[in-house]
Structure 1
Amino acid sequence: MTTKTGRYSGYIRPFSYLIDFIIINVLAFYMMPFHNTILYALFISFAWFAIAIHLGFYEVYRYTKVIAILNKAVKQAVLFGLFCLALELYFSEFANQKKVVLFVFVSWTLVLTIKIFIYYFLRRFRVLYGGNSRTVVLLGNDASIEPLKQFFTDNPDYGYNLAQIFSLHENKRDKIRACLSYVSTNKIDEIYCSVADVSDNQMAEIIDFADNNLKTLKFIPDEKQLLSTNMKFEFYDYIPIISLRNILQEESFNKVIKRIFDLTFSLVIIIGLLSWLLPIMAVIIKLDSKGPVFFIQKRNGLKYKKFNCYKFRSMELNDNSDVELASKNDLRITKVGKFIRKTSMDELPQFFNVFFGEMSIVGPRPHMVSVANIYAAKVDKFMVRHFVKPGITGLAQTKGYRGEVETDEDIINRVKYDIFYIENWSVLLDIKIIFITVFNTLRGDKKAY
């Protein structure tokens, strides 16, 4: 079956608007006891779509992650619910607040269910029939474009049809012209060009071609050229200003939400688990080897400030604990230490760090001072991790980059994931990371030693 490129793309969002409009108003008609139904319908419809536009609720693209959809959906439900409660207070002095809450919950659940269904239906539709797709070409050196080539090849459900690759290892000018000619004579939707592999003049030529031929042009940045995935664009009067990084956790509202989440979670663990486990662990650790129950180590946290990081002691007392990282089959690790490190129980005292405000439940893992100083001088953008509080677990750890740093790639990839987390933080992302961490711990992590 041959399907035109992006055949139904223009209808997806209006269809979503219509479905949500029908759901909200039909439910309001049957569930809300208002006399002036039309006026109420106008109010809630305007509120729903005004909030949705502000949050980008309908800005779901083929590369959008489900966690991002859920994050926007939760914000949409909270703000819409507050508006409906305020409307209820104005009209009926809070006589039907339970019905309002039920109405918001049911309508939001239906809207989200249909939204997720459409999202996965389109992914399946692209695989089976090739519909709702984009035909693309890649332009650049093999090393630069290989990851994106692999992504397009391995993920047909995203709907990108890779038509041609133009390698720029040699004869760049001829290859660029061949690429532009190919795009002109074939139904190509998007050009992906590696920034590092073309000169300024060549880039200007490609941009002019794309603009004049109504082609979408996207650039693949070099790792050293990549400034931020979340730059903030502002105007000082009429002067455009770009903030290098938009640290979401620095915003006042987000800071409060993050702190409430950390306090609540840490108190649950401290009261519900550590209150009885700590004395037991103290006895076991003391019986196993000489030394204190807790291992306290200076680490770098928020703004690179040092703090005391708490752990259950898992090693024999030694002079190298602050300069030498634990390695596989490390002779310094005690019998009990092997178990608590394998199960990550040695990290549990760090919930006290979270309670005291020195750490967060989720964030970049803190390194001991001596190692952090080495990485700061050696690894590009390592210091960006310290824009936020360090965490007990983090995105990098769920991707396999925990524990010992065996190669340079380990720390480089850890930094990449940490920066991605910082610039894409949400409460739902924190919850997802926590669940994956618990699952990996129960399953057994091969790097937990």
Structure 2
Amino acid sequence: MNEIDPTNRFSLNAVRSHEGEGAASPSKPLNSLAEQVASQYRRDTMSPVMVTGTLRLVEFALLVLSGLVLHGWLIGYNTHLVWYYPAIAVAASLLTVILLEFTDCYQITSLRSPLSNAGKILLVWSGTFAVLAIAGFLFKVSSDFSRLWFGAWYATGLTLMFGLRFIMAMQIRRWARNGRMERRAVIVGGGKNAEALIRSIEAQPYNDIRICGIFDDRDDSRSPPVVAGYPKLGNVAELIEFARIARIDMLIVSLPITAETRVLSLLKKLWVLPVDIRLSAHSNQLRFRPRSYSYIGAVPMLDIFDRPINDWDSVAKRAFDIVFSLLGIIVLSPIMLATAIAIKLDSKGPVLFKQKRHGFNNEVIEVYKFRSMYADRSDPSAKQAVTKGDPRVTRVGRVIRKTSIDELPQFFNALFGSLSLVGPRPHAVAAQTHNLLYNEVVDGYFARHRVKPGVTGWAQINGWRGEMDTDEKIKMRTEYDLYYIENWSLWFDLKILFLTPVRLLNTENAY
């Protein structure tokens, strides 16, 4: 077969600019069967990547800790080599984890059956000690170290690794049985292609894919209502709502890659979801370069979109939010206290204003702000945007809105987890321009919600803050938000965070 490089074949720009019958459409309410199935999957699952990553950290910590405890018990800390033993324990433990990684001992399939990998673990741990022995010989320091400690640590470390892996094997089997550790997938497209795909996935040993159903725009005469025992739950517009409710991890499009127009039509609708999107390649006659594929067992997939900020990236971003939110609350507490007093003295009503806005995955969240309007004239739905000289805004409100001090309580949102410090700014659920909701103005608007919204964002520091009174403004804000999502990194977050106070000096559009 001819090999084809699929680079940019299904690029984001190609999907977003594709026109025709596949134009993006809003989600539809679910039928009763789809709603019943979706309700079974409301609870989040545990990512295999997070499980194996945590095991690496725990195993490293146990090996280091066991070396330190044995050092204190067998030798004590009153020797001239007091710092050498901890250094050796850390270095040897790190080398062990790295070698276990290279020998695939952290794969879920390996963790399910620890006895089948006992030889690899024994070889790696023994190899680590062989490296220590050779290093001691070469540097002529082996006689200075306790052989008792080396022997005791070797036996203890080996016991701990085997014990930990037997416990993990039992836990993984239990999580697999009760659905706590699985990847939930939906098949997009029915018929014979979908049936062949499902049979191939189910034939894979130690399969962690849970197929939740099938969605297809075609009617029952062209796409059977049941495929390989799985029901067709609705069309693609209903899939968008289903994926949000059911905590779906992956969408697998079971269409031939040669049907490019139809594939693009589907992706045009689906790319707004915070999920992995894969194109099944198991029955395609075209063959790509091996590195182009990802696999479910031995079933090849073409990666179309990946869920942004997933697994360990999400852990790093959450840690970033907690640290900098606490720091912001501490540093800005005098300003927040003074603002609260000023609001209370200026007009009757509560100090804080709560507003419902769209959050991650289009879920509705409650965002905190300092109240800037008269209590009896506030607009929780934000249906009527605040304009220059708006009589609903109090005297204190004009100052705090212009300086964005009214947004400071959102540091608590970021600390508690409904917001991130940096991300697309959340809009009120009824926000609109020219009597049109934002998602009616911007095609693919809800793709902003593939990540958690932020207190500040890339659009805001580039001048797109304040009143969204024209279609062009909301389109440009969305473009900057999508750029942020596609190019996210912790350094990018840090850059945006530190540029925000500088950009707030420009108050032209804030009132």
Q: TM-score range by the shorter chain?
A: 0.3 to 0.5
Structure showing greater Rg = 2
Higher relative contact order (CA 8 A, sep 6+): 2
Which has a greater percent of helix? 1
TM-score (norm 1): 0.47
TM-score, with length taken from structure 2: 0.42
